[in-house]
Structure 1
Amino acid sequence: MPATPAWPPKSAPRLFVPPVLGPGAQRQIEGNQAHYLARVMRVAPGDTVILCDDATGEWAARVAEVGKRVVVLEVAEQLRAREAVPDLWLCPALIRKDRFDLVLEKATELGAARIQPVITRRCVADKLNLERARTITIEAAEQCARTALPDLAEPARLESLIGNWPGDRILFFADEAGGAPAAEAFAAARGPAAILTGPEGGFDETERARIRALAAARPVSLGPRILRAETAAIAALALWMGSAGDW
């Protein structure tokens, strides 16, 4: 006797949708998401789609109707509650758009609770399209089966960020001038934390002195090699998750 197929299938498409979901709810999917379901994934009535609402968690839904511009879904049952992620902020300096896109994507996959872009004196970029950036984080969350989207903040100037830093949150400062080995510092830390990484040209001396003067700052080293800005952000986040996060 053949085994009963698992439901919902693991290969089902996954989407984030507003607002809050519940059993029996119906959702009309439009725009790019409808195109993805109908034209890319070629869903048909009866197929399964996994929905997340960034509030209650993950739900299985069945396709009720597929139109030219709209796909109608009926929510069937909850699969997982919204996950709890470690209280870690990633504060990467803005860099070139394509490279910062990578930081947004990987920070989401690795489990950052908040992404706080930072503008420093040597940044080659000083603006961020938040709508586009949010789309990148949503698509990354869909791909990696994350049920909680990272909080994405507007870029803040370094002076403002430091001046308003919450005293109960450790700020690990990836300082190219050196500091405690990052793995040791991360493993020993307790409570809310954040990681600050610099732009392509690094922090200047005035910025470095201002950061080090912050009581909550902990300068750390990411090793003997000079890392690209995006590599430093991703490597530091991965190391923290492996030492003190949810890995």
Structure 2
Amino acid sequence: MEKDIDKKEEQDEEKNSSSLVQKIQQLGQTNIPQAPESNIHVLTIIGQIEGHIQLPPQNKTTKYEHLLPQLIAIEQNPKIEGLVILLNTVGGDVEAGLALSEMITSISKPTVSIVLGGGHSIGVPIAVATDYSFIAPTATMTIHPVRLTGLVIGVPQTFEYLDKMQDRVINFVISHSNIKEQQFKDLMFAKGNLTRDIGTNIVGREAVEYGLINRVGGVKEAMEKMNELISNQKGQTEQVIQ
């Protein structure tokens, strides 16, 4: 009987030790801070946005087919009153990025985005898809034309398709931000700003000055704005009910 108890204690110790090692390996710490149940859901979009083509395993990716059902669940969950999107992406699949942007902008609950580090390429439409957007002072956004990959055929019809796709990106951005169409196109097609390329890299406050992002700020400012938007929506709902 004592042997069984000793054996069980050894197994429990091994299990706890294994769990501790996993936490250190994954998070670099022994204890995971437990947040109280919140009415605000946080969604992260990091690395490269993976669309129809699977990227190599060493790439840090966000798979859009994983995010789509999450967005549906957020819309349907009555306990969730707001959505905060954290962005640090190099861009990726254009159609996948536009699909995410359209899904985010169609959510009925208040949405806020924060560009941290970078919101490049197709990350730009995602950043502006929310009701209100923030950018960290040192974060950057790269605006450039839609590019060819080795997966499309270089014929006139392909270039027409790319032009239409580019128009979709431009129309989405200007309709969900305060930037003017011509100004956005000037940034997109500027020569000499990026090495051996065309496009523009804008940092922090520049994005706000162009009207692309609403405000410079981080987590504190984003949460304050989110609570304000939630309160406003609740007030409007109460007025409708009355």
**Larger RCO, structure (CA 8 Å, separation 6 or more):** 1
The alignment's TM-score, normalised by the length of structure 2, stands at: 0.27
The structure with the largest helix share of the pair is 2
